[in-house]
Amino acid sequence: MEAIAAAQFGRHKLLHLVRHAQGKHNLEAEKCGDPLTSFEYLDAELSPLGWQQVRNQRKDVCSSGLLKRIEVVITSPMTRTLQTGIGIFHGEDQGLGVAKLKSGDEEITVNQPRIIAHELCRERLGRFECDKRRSISQYQCRFPAVDFSLIENEHDNLWKGGDEIETHEAVRARAMKFTKWLWEREEKEIAVVSHGVYLQQAMIELITNNLCYPLHNDPLSRFKNCEIRSVFIFNESVIGLGSDAFLMKSSNCGRMRISYGIEQVQIKDSAKDNASVEELEVTN
């Protein structure tokens, strides 16, 4: 796969996009459909089903060989994404509130890539309490395996209460800024743990503008909880784009598939796969 990509696209990166596992707010929204504006769902944690999804995905990324390839994990600084990222890519109980994640009777002791928190890949900001983060000091104490050094503000100064909410256009612009930051990093294979609305808006922006090559049959559909989808981004020199460009899509090659079968990962989830972003804003 790497050799094929290098030959056809030149310099490239492979991103593995992960939506967090089911959170308690997702479960509540599925039950009643009410907007999650209650303080009860502030920075929601994973549900029991969410933890099972993490365990299943942990086994898949280990058995497929994907974990050995990941050079760094970038995660949204929210409890549900931190729990998902650590659970899948480290598999350890580091203040997660559950037993160590194991494969059979043997604890998994494989590659543990560096995990870095970044605010640019947070969920759509505003209105919902589940999208308001806690202080960085709280996260640092609870998740010592994560590097929070890129987050400048101790407290959340991005989330706004009331009816104010980030527009989809603003989310897409933020996603492009984040993707450019990823492109400028030295790693070639990166996992990103984020949220449903954010990931869908990012894919809409990248695909409709021919800025990536998705390795998924239906890349614009809603991400399921704990689902992983992969996408190539490429060097602008392949088609002679201007110096301001940082990614591209080649339209002359057939669809490729990841050799270690990450597309075949199946996570049982009760989300409505074909629902619009607006219908699922409260299940992010």
Is residue 20 annotated as part of the catalytic site, yes or no?
A: yes
Rounded to whole angstroms, the Cα distance separating 43 from 173 reads 24
**Which amino acid, 268?**
K
Answer for the pair 248, 183: CB distance below 8 angstroms, yes or no: no
Is residue 216 annotated as part of the catalytic site, yes or no?
A: no
Catalytic residue, from 16, 20, 90, 118: name it. 20
Catalytic residue, from 28, 45, 119, 123: name it. 123
Angle, alpha carbons 183-61-77 (nearest 5°): 55
Answer for the pair 250, 8: CB distance below 8 angstroms, yes or no: yes
| Distant-in-sequence, close-in-space partners of 8: CB < 8 Å, separation ≥ 6 | 250, 253
DSSP 208-271: HTT--EE-SSSTTSPPPTT-EEEEEEE-GGGTT--TT------SSSPPP--TT-GGG------S
Rg (CA), the chain: 18
Residues annotated catalytic, as ranges: 20, 123
